[in-house]
Amino acid sequence: MQWSLLRPVGLVPAALVLTTIAASAEDGKSAGPSEFLLVAQIVLLIAVGRGLGEIMQRIGQPSVIGELLAGILLGPSLFGWLWPEAQHAIFPKTAEQKAMLDGIAQFGILLLLLLTGMETDLKLVRKVGKAAIAISIAGILVPFACGFALGEFLPDALLPNPQARLVASLFMGTALSISSVKIVAVVVREMNFMRRNVGQIIVATAVIDDTIGWIIIAVIFSLASHGTLDIASVAKAVLGTFAFLAVSFTIGRQLVFQLIRWANDNLVSAAAVITVILLLMCVMALITHLIGVHTVLGAFVAGILVGESPILTRQIDERLRGLISSFFMPVFFGLAGLSADLSVLRDPNLLMLTGLLVVIASVGKFGGAFVGGTLGGLNTRESLALASGMNARGSTEVIIATIGLSIGVLSQNLFTMIVTMAIVTTMAMPPMLRAALARLPMNDEEKARLEREEFEKRGFVANLERPLLAVDESVNATFAAHIAGLIAGMRGFPITVLHIGKRAKEQEKDRDEEESHEAVVKKAAEAVAAHGDSDAGSVDVVTRARRAELGETIADEARKGFDLLVVGVDKVTAAKDRFDRKIEDIAAKFDGPLAIVAAKGKHLKEPMPDALNILVPVSGSGVSKRGAEVAVALAQAGSGSLRVIYVATTRDKGAQRGASRGLGQEAGILKDASDLAARYEVDITTTLRVNRAPEAAILREIETTDVDLVVMGVDRIQGDHLSFGGVADAVLRQAKVSVLLVSSGEGRPTSTEKA
């Protein structure tokens, strides 16, 4: 069944059109550069490459192997051997026609490095720390030395320029020493080892390998460009590279973030952020070219900076990856396969040298990584897994070999040998790594960390990335800004302040004033950082003023990817159990989670309190847990107290029986809340009340304790106006302390805008 599904994917259509294309190509082969041929080449490379890639994935291999094999099958190795006239007609060797496809492939290299950079997790490298750096250095030096030595002893016939053997040897050393972080990450993720200690070390080591490798390639490119060992030019390239990296990861990081944010928030055209990302990639590639190193370094660094941007939404990320994976990858790797003529391996000497290259590459990388793992503190099993993962060259090797071929450092035969080595080592890595990882036990510390991370993965606050704060000129708005600042400060993520009051434009102009909402947000975030939280940090705040009707303004903002809307306006409720019209208009236009703030009591006089004494009612529902998460986060961000109350209503006979036993559902719900607080090292007090009306019990708890803020997780109820149910409405209206309602993103009411 699987094979019948594969046939229409690309292989059969490619075979059906092959004869037609060949005949048409032969008719026009003397007419010079042909757009028809270019499109035909792209069709074949994508169809066959994606089809074979699908097959490779189904047998546990990376799809890039299928794309490489597609080029090899369509090239002189098979198609050119079976039907040379048709192969030459479809893929002519004329410089003009080849340049058309080469141009697409060269841009594809930049996009592939952009994607590789986006997948490079520097936070993971920093988390793993010195161990990964030590392992990476050992894992690079040994195979680099082996590759360099091999390059020094290669026959002159394999070198395009024997006088420049030094550059070729350096290229060989680099090619043998770098692993493919993309292939490694795919297998580690597939094995569910991405968050295991050894999995993180493997991926972090591959990231460092890749980064060091692209820097080395950039310098070697400069050396190859001058043809001789010019100390001045090499020094310029090295210093220029380090200056470029220094500026990129300081000023450049903030600049890229601001550009992506500006494009996301201000441009209305389709795919505006993707356009900005591509322009950033091209500009940084041009900069590296101007300082005398290869453009791939600029594209790679651009990818790292783009991947670190908190404004990069999942939708934008998937669109960009889809474009690269579906078009540029099969074209580039297919063209690389076309350039590799495996028929030359019929020569026993070349076949022997290729086998020697595979052995040296595997032994050098495996041995170096194993020694590095041992020196880095890993046990034997972990070092074996690390060494198995590091031996995959994959796409990285092919890109390096293609660069070497294009600048004349590698000959056609040597290029074919390196591509063959890349295919063999990449195909051998997944089963070896799977076998090595499958036998690794988990210790208690690692198990506890994974349980905590799995809990956070399902959580609400831990997955927030970008809140929007909608406020007017009221005291309640200031208190809402304080609450939003505490939440944002926990993770250091950016926040947008949207002024929707009567003096919105004046507020926007006065955003630098000490008591402005922007200043309140930053002050609260700084207070979180002062508590010494490792994840806390300064927040980037953008301030905007309402420039249209309220509903339209909120709808415009909602399209920009915000995952929480915090609302702080002067009037929250109206008569007849209704929210104020402004609140209803806001809720009608925002599909995501809402946090509606209502300041009362002492917070009307002190909207930026040093401490919050919080009460959170829980019921065991998902939305109740969301409220508890927010309450715990606020308690962790500041000082004060946290109380959790569960009301076992006497309307529920089952709950009453559970209360009489002292166990059951109620105890379990309170224990869950205690566990949640314990994970974040927050002290709580739990209370179980039995009452016919939950709202009465909650209000009684407020009156008899020193709480000054009630945080409730609530569900939106479908209807013609905004409602969160009777309990929430009673607490909101009758409580004499501040209330924070945290709603789900479901059950949006119908629009309340006037017809």
pLDDT(646) > 80: yes
Give the pLDDT score at 270.
66
pLDDT(125) > 90: no
Token pair 């550069």 is found at 33
In DSSP notation, 686-726 reads: EEEEEES-HHHHHHHHHHHS---EEEEEEPPPPSSS----H
Token pair 């994508």 is found at 46
573-574 vs 578-579, strand pairing mode: antiparallel
At 504 the three-state DSSP class reads: helix
The answer to whether 544 and 517 are in contact (CB under 8 A) is no
CA distance 702 to 699: 5
Give the pLDDT score at 5.
41
Domain ranges of the chain: 94-438, 458-743
Token pair 């080595």 is found at 421
pLDDT(672) > 80: no
727 Cβ contact partners less than 8 Å away, ≥ 6 residues apart: 617, 694, 695, 698
Average pLDDT (51-77) is 84
Rounded to a whole number of angstroms, the distance between the first and last alpha carbons of the chain is 55
291 confidence band (pLDDT: 50, 70, 90): confident
Tell which wins on pLDDT, 732 or 673. 732
CA distance 462 to 486: 13
Give the pLDDT score at 735.
92
Q: What sign for the dihedral angle of Cα 741, 742, 745, 747?
A: negative
pLDDT digit string, tens, across residues 460-475: 777 788 899 999 888 9
Give the pLDDT score at 661.
44
Considering only the top CATH level, what class is 458-743? alpha beta
How big is the CA angle at 710 (ends 705 and 713), to the nearest 5 degrees? 140
CA distance 597 to 604: 12
pLDDT(7) > 90: no
pLDDT digit string, tens, across residues 321-376: 788 888 888 888 888 788 777 887 888 888 898 898 889 888 888 888 888 888 87
Domain at 94-438, CATH from 3.40.47.10, 1.10.274.10, 1.20.1530.20, 3.40.1190.20: 1.20.1530.20
For the purposes of burial, counting CB atoms within 10 Å of the CB of 105, is it exposed (0-12), middle (13-18) or buried (19 or more)?
buried
CA distance 754 to 249: 50
Give the pLDDT score at 663.
45
Residue 45's nearest CA partner among 318, 336, 321, 324 is 336
- Torsion-angle region of residue 285: left (phi > 0), alpha (psi -120 to 50) or beta? alpha
How big is the CA angle at 13 (ends 12 and 19), to the nearest 5 degrees? 100
Least confident of 213-217, 712-716, 746-750: 746-750
Give the pLDDT score at 124.
67
State the average pLDDT for the chain: 79
Q: What sign for the dihedral angle of Cα 616, 617, 619, 622?
A: negative
Query: In angstroms, how far apart are the furthest CA atoms of the chain?
Result: 94
pLDDT(302) > 70: yes
Q: From the CA atom positions of the chain, what is the Rg in Å?
A: 31
269 confidence band (pLDDT: 50, 70, 90): confident
pLDDT(236) > 60: yes
Q: Crossing angle, helix 197-226 and helix 130-153, to 10 degrees? A: 40
Q: What percent of the chain has pLDDT over 70?
A: 83
Main-chain phi, psi angles of 687, to 5 degrees: -135, 135
Query: Beta strands of 371-526 (E only): which ranges?
Result: 467-471, 495-499
pLDDT(683) > 50: yes
How big is the CA angle at 552 (ends 549 and 557), to the nearest 5 degrees? 120
- Global pTM value: 0.72
The DSSP bridge partners found for residue 568 are 471
pLDDT digit string, tens, across residues 489-503: 877 788 888 888 776
Least confident of 184-188, 316-320, 418-422: 184-188
Give the pLDDT score at 659.
45
Give the pLDDT score at 751.
36
380 confidence band (pLDDT: 50, 70, 90): confident
Q: What percent of the chain has pLDDT over 90?
A: 10
Tokens of 375: 């020196």
Tell which wins on pLDDT, 520 or 648. 520
CA distance 351 to 80: 20
pLDDT digit string, tens, across residues 520-539: 888 888 877 666 544 545 67
24 confidence band (pLDDT: 50, 70, 90): low
